[in-house]
Amino acid sequence: MKLVKARFEKTEFGGQMVETVKAIDFYLEEKSHTSQWQEPEKYKRLSKDIDRLFAQFEIFKLAVKQFYGVEYHFTRTDDYFGCCTNDGEDFLFRFEREKKSGKGLLKKLEKFEELEAVANKADEAYQAEPENAELEAAFDKAYKEEFEAMEELLNSITTYTNGEIDTETSKKMLFTHREELKQILEKAMD
């Protein structure tokens, strides 16, 4: 049987194999940020989940080899993850990782600042007329958007620094040392 890669992922079997590979990558990443000594239960659970997923993957791998005569292996680098042949030349599927970039973080900071300004204006308008339900709704909406942008920024900083700067530290920097934070992000763009 001939393997048509473009259609393979759209089949139920192919879709499940793709989801298994994505889950393996996700759990390996999660495990890399979990301390075996500080969070032993979580570490054990992640290890068991990864073992289970690799067992599932082995079944998919054997089935693909049986039906199509090609053996694919799980592969994972800093730039991508997926399934490829032993020589790394032929990919069944491959997913590029989002590049960690100070530029992306700087854009998220700018978006947050814009939404922060909108929320501040909405707050001033609402404070001037606290009985106005429309102004209250506008403030609630603006504040929610500002908060979501802030959470996205803080989580991105934590991810970008591989946990070296946690969300609490980045939050403090955002509100007390914003210019310093901008300088750090601008340097990261280089």
Q: Where are the domains of the chain?
A: 5-96, 102-188
- Tell if the pTM clears 0.75, that is, is over it: no
pLDDT for res 98: 66
Residues 70 and 91: their CA atoms lie apart, in Å, by 11
Weakest mean pLDDT among 15-19, 53-57, 105-109, 162-166: 162-166
74 closest CA partner among 85, 90, 89: 85
Quick check: 15 and 9 in contact, CB under 8 A?
Answer: yes
pLDDT for res 190: 56
Residues 77 and 12: their CA atoms lie apart, in Å, by 26
Residues 123 and 128: their CA atoms lie apart, in Å, by 9
**pLDDT above 70: residue 100:** no
Higher pLDDT, 52 or 10: 52
**pLDDT above 60: residue 92:** yes
Looking at this protein, which amino acid is placed at residue 129? E
